[in-house]
Amino acid sequence: MILFFGMRPGKSETTLLQGTPCPHCGNSGTLELYRTPHYFHLFWIKIFPVYTSRMIECTHCKRGYFKEDFTEDMRRAIP
């Protein structure tokens, strides 16, 4: 019997971080949080979430920030 298992990303959610300025360009209200859950799957069926990756991108200057690059303002604004 062959088993197909592994990890796959789920559907990403986008949230606008209101009132938080971009550290690079200084514009406020342009940061978007992208949250993507990663699931363990068996035969391409999602079984349980393993972890969630987060990334913030400025829609003005297109600068991306990963979790280790988040400022204290960004961390407070994440719901």
pLDDT in tens, 51-79: 999 999 999 999 999 999 999 989 998 88
What does pTM read for this prediction? 0.81
- Inter-residue long-range contacts of 69-76, CB under 8 Å, 24+ positions, other chains counted: 71/23, 73/20, 73/21, 74/17, 74/20, 74/31
What pLDDT score was predicted for residue 1?
A: 78
Structural domain including 54 reads 5-77
Interatomic CA distance for residues 66 and 33, integer angstroms: 10
Interatomic CA distance for residues 36 and 29, integer angstroms: 21
Residue 34 carries which DSSP code? Answer: E
**Total number of domains in the chain:** 1
